[in-house]
Amino acid sequence: MAEGFEHGLRPRPSTSHKLAGSGLRPESVAKPLKAHPNRPSLMQAPVLVLNATFEPINVTAVRRALVLMLKGVAQAEETHPSNEVHSTSKALRVPSVIRLLSYRHIPQQSRALSRKNILLRDRNTCQFCGKPLPASELTLDHVVPRSRGGSSTWENLVACCYRCNNRKGDRTPEEAGFRLARRPRPFTLHTSRQLMRLIGHKDEKWRKYLFY
């Protein structure tokens, strides 16, 4: 995925500021959004992915969206005009919405079970104390501990902060005096679209693709 950035791609704002070498330093890029301690850097900001039919199908990061554009797999439909990235041959505006150039069939089934998808489903929020946190400050918790027969499934895994994870220990939520914020369920396409709409409230460029 990162190979597209090793061939001369250098993130920079529309000013003459340059980044040394091939190391990406997104914090140096001028941002259209105000800085916030819990806001990801520009290269990790969310980008809405549309199918070739303009149907919203996913959310990815700016970094991945740029790779898809450079490979000719997708094109930008909406951009952040005040931000650009420059390769040796071209300049690209940082995308907000991209569209795949070839139709991709999306199966009506849940996503792969992974830490990333559990955190995305739970909106990077501890399911016990309700505190939103960066991914690096969250772990996964088995609602029913594995030592007591709990399985690693969508229905038994939740995002959890380290403090609550340590407090809960080898107990059920009820035994630890915790209450789950919501019952854990598989991450389906319906779940994905709900999250897209939540993010879309923060980026008006997304709205015409999400709200009909």
Residue 46 lies inside a defined structural domain of this protein: yes
- Residue 185 placed within a domain: no
| 17-26 burial: b if 16+ Cβ within 10 Å, else e | eebeeeebeb
Q: Domain total for the chain?
A: 2
Q: Does residue 181 sit within a domain?
A: no
For residues 56 and 11, membership in a common domain is answered with: yes
Q: What is the mean pLDDT of residues 117-135?
A: 91
For the purposes of burial, counting CB atoms within 10 Å of the CB of 30, is it exposed (0-12), middle (13-18) or buried (19 or more)? middle
In this prediction, residue 189 has a pLDDT band, given cuts at 50, 70 and 90, of: low
Residue 184 maps to a domain: no
pLDDT of residue 91: 80
State phi, psi for 65 to the nearest 5 degrees. Answer: -60, -40
Nearest to 79 by CA among 48, 102, 110, 103: 48
**Same domain (yes/no): 123, 100:** no
Domain carrying residue 82: 2-33+40-107+190-210
Structural contact between residues 9 and 87, judged by C-beta atoms closer than 8 angstroms: yes
Facing residues of 160 across strands?
139
Is there a single domain that holds both residue 154 and residue 87? no
* Whether residue 99 is found in the same domain as residue 163: no
- Contact between residue 199 and residue 46 where contact means Cβ atoms under 8 Å apart: yes
- Which pLDDT does position 17 carry in this prediction? 37
* pLDDT higher than 90, residue 203: no
At residue 195 the predicted structure's pLDDT band, cuts being 50, 70 and 90, is confident
Instruction: Clarify whether residues 146 and 96 are in a common domain.
Output: no
Contact 172, 143 (CB under 8 A): yes
Task: Look up the CATH number of the domain holding residue 119.
Answer: 1.10.30.50
Determine, yes or no, domain membership for 183: no
7 plus 51 within the same structural domain: yes
- Between CA 15 and CA 23 the distance in angstroms is 19
Note the pLDDT tens digit of each residue in 72-121.
Answer: 999 999 998 788 877 777 788 899 999 999 999 876 655 778 898 898 88
Of 179 and 39, the structure prediction assigns the larger pLDDT to 179
Distance (Å, rounded) from C-alpha 197 to C-alpha 61?
16
* pLDDT band at residue 200 under the 50/70/90 scheme: low
Same domain for 90 and 167?
no
Cβ-Cβ contacts under 8 Å for 64 (sequence gap 6 or more): 1, 47
Can you tell me the mean pLDDT for 140-155? Answer: 95
Would you say residue 123 lies in a domain?
Answer: yes
Highest mean pLDDT among 76-85, 89-98, 149-158, 181-190: 149-158
Residue 182 counted as domain residue: no
Query: Is the domain of 73 the same as that of 161?
Result: no
User: Is residue 2 scored above 60 in pLDDT?
Assistant: no
The mean pLDDT value for 31-54 works out to 67
Check whether residue 48 and residue 128 sit in a common domain.
Answer: no
Q: Write down the pLDDT at residue 79.
A: 93
pLDDT of residue 16: 36
Q: At 9, is the pLDDT very low, low, confident or very high (cuts 50, 70, 90)?
A: very low
Please name which of 206, 207, 208, 209 lies closest in space to residue 45, comparing C-alpha atoms. 206
